[in-house]
Structure 1
Amino acid sequence: MHDTSQVFILCLFSFCAGFIDSIVGGGGLIQLPALLIVLPNTDLPLLLGTNKLASIAGTSVAAIRFSLHLKLHSSIIIVAAIAAFLFSFIGASTVSIINPNILRPLILVLLTIVAIYTFLKKDFGSQHLFYTARAKQIILAAIIGCVIGFYDGFLGPGTGSFLIFAFIGVIGFDFLRASASAKVVNFCTNLAALFYFIPTNNVIYSFALPMAVCNVFGAIIGTKLAILKGNNFIRSLFLIIVCILVCILIIKLTHDIVFG
Structure 2
Amino acid sequence: MDLGTLAFLTLAGFVASLPAIVAAGVPPHMALGTNKFANAFSSSTSSLRFALSGKLAWRLVRWQVPCTALGAALGVRTVLALDERLLNGLIIVMILAVAIYSVLKKDFGERDDFTGLTTANIAVGMGFAFALGFYDGFFGPGTGSFLIFLFIRVFGFDFTVAAGNSKLLNFTSNVVSLSLFALGGRVLYAAALPMALAMIAGAWVGARVAIKNGARLIRPVFVVIALALVARLVAKSLA
Match of 1:10 in 2: 9
Match of 1:246 in 2: 230
Q: CA–CA distance in 2 between the matches of 1:86 and 1:49?
A: 18
For residue 5 of structure 1, report the CA deviation from its aligned partner: 2.4
Q: 1:131 to 1:143 in 2, by over 3 A?
A: farther
SS state at 1:198 partner: helix
Q: How does 1:38-49 map to 2 (within 5 A)?
A: 38=24, 40=25, 42-49=26-33
CA deviation profile, 1:50-75 (whole Å, cap 9, x unmatched): 11111111110110111001242112
The structure 1 residue matched to 2:97, chosen from 113, 127, 130, is: 113
The structure 2 residue matched to 1:139, chosen from 113, 123, 126, is: 123
Q: What is the TM-score of this pair, normalised by structure 1?
A: 0.86
User: One-letter code of the match for 1:128?
Assistant: D
- 1:36 paired to 2:35: no
RMSD: 1.7
Q: 1:71 to 1:43 in 2, by over 3 A?
A: closer
Q: CA–CA distance in 2 between the matches of 1:132 and 1:100?
A: 39
User: One-letter code of the match for 1:92?
Assistant: V
User: One-letter code of the match for 1:46?
Assistant: M
Q: CA–CA distance in 2 between the matches of 1:155 and 1:100?
A: 9
For residue 93 of structure 1, report the CA deviation from its aligned partner: 2.8
Q: CA–CA distance in 2 between the matches of 1:152 and 1:63?
A: 17
CA deviation profile, 1:98-137 (whole Å, cap 9, x unmatched): 4343322221211111011000011000111226643333
SS state at 2:60 partner: helix
For residue 90 of structure 1, report the CA deviation from its aligned partner: 1.9
SS state at 2:227 partner: helix
- 1:209 paired to 2:193: yes
Identity of aligned residues (%): 37
Unmatched 5+ residue regions in structure 2? none
Question: Is 1:125–1:174's contact at 8 Å kept on the other side of the alignment?
Answer: yes
Q: How does 1:120-131 map to 2 (within 5 A)?
A: 120-130=104-114
Match of 1:52 in 2: 36
Q: CA–CA distance in 2 between the matches of 1:121 and 1:169?
A: 11
Q: What is the TM-score of this pair, normalised by structure 2?
A: 0.93
Q: How does 1:1-260 map to 2 (within 5 A)?
A: 2-14=1-13, 16-17=14-15, 27=16, 31-38=17-24, 40=25, 42-130=26-114, 133-255=117-239
Q: CA–CA distance in 2 between the matches of 1:144 and 1:150?
A: 10
